[in-house]
Amino acid sequence: MTITIYHNPKCGTSRNTLALIRNTGAEPEVIEYLINPPSRDKLVELIAAMGTPVRALLRKKGTPYEELNLDDTKWTDDELLDFMMAHPILINRPIVVTSMGTRLCRPSEEVLDILPLPQLGEFTKEDGEKVIDAEGKRVNNAA
């Protein structure tokens, strides 16, 4: 069983997602995508596997999104991909790939729907929100 996470260790959502994966006992392949960005072909493959429009993967906060005027609908999918290749910080994260699917895990609890193994115990996010109880079950207030 292979689990891959496109991860930014500076991102709390990405850290929480990685911790939820590890809470199953699995050790995923961690790709720090700002250091080792996916190829254009791989990014296209990930977007297709998520079934999401290219534009939906663009990250706005903390990126050159506004200065590049990426809100403008004139940009084609190919052009948006060009921007993501030139500025990997524009790729929203974390993206997780498992045998059960590929998903942008925002919020981090989204990963629970594609993990092939159950949670092994309690999990609380960095902000103090409890997601998994002591029996490994999802807490009702979790997304």
CATH code where residue 79 lies: 3.40.30.10
Predicted confidence (pLDDT) per residue in 54-111, tens digit? 999 999 999 999 999 999 999 999 999 999 999 999 999 999 999 999 999 999 999 9
In this structure, is residue 43 part of a structural domain? Answer: yes
pLDDT at residue 32 tops 80: yes
Question: Which long-range contacts link 114-122 to residues 24+ away (Cβ below 8 Å)?
Answer: 115/3, 115/20, 115/21, 115/24, 115/26, 116/1, 116/3, 117/1, 117/24, 117/25, 117/26, 118/24, 119/20, 119/23, 119/24, 120/23, 120/24, 120/25, 121/23
What tokens does 103 get? 């998903």
In this structure, is residue 83 part of a structural domain? Answer: yes
Which residues constitute the domain of residue 91? Answer: 4-132
pLDDT at residue 143 tops 60: no
CA angle, 38 as apex, 65 and 123 as ends, to 5°? 85
Lowest mean pLDDT among 29-33, 94-98, 139-143: 139-143
Q: Which of 3, 11, 31, 91 is catalytic?
A: 11
Please tell me the total count of domains within the chain.
1
pLDDT computed for residue 26 by the predictor? 97
Main-chain dihedrals φ then ψ at residue 45, nearest 5 degrees:
-60, -45
Predicted confidence (pLDDT) per residue in 107-135, tens digit? 999 999 999 999 999 999 999 999 999 98
Is residue 37 helix, strand or coil? coil
In this structure, is residue 138 part of a structural domain? Answer: no
Structure-token match 């292979």, residue found: 2
Rounded percentage of the chain residues whose pLDDT exceeds 90? 94
Cα–Cα distance for residue pair 105/14, rounded to 1 Å: 8
Active site residue 11: yes
Cα–Cα distance for residue pair 46/139, rounded to 1 Å: 29
Predicted confidence (pLDDT) per residue in 5-17, tens digit? 999 999 999 999 9
Prediction pTM value: 0.94
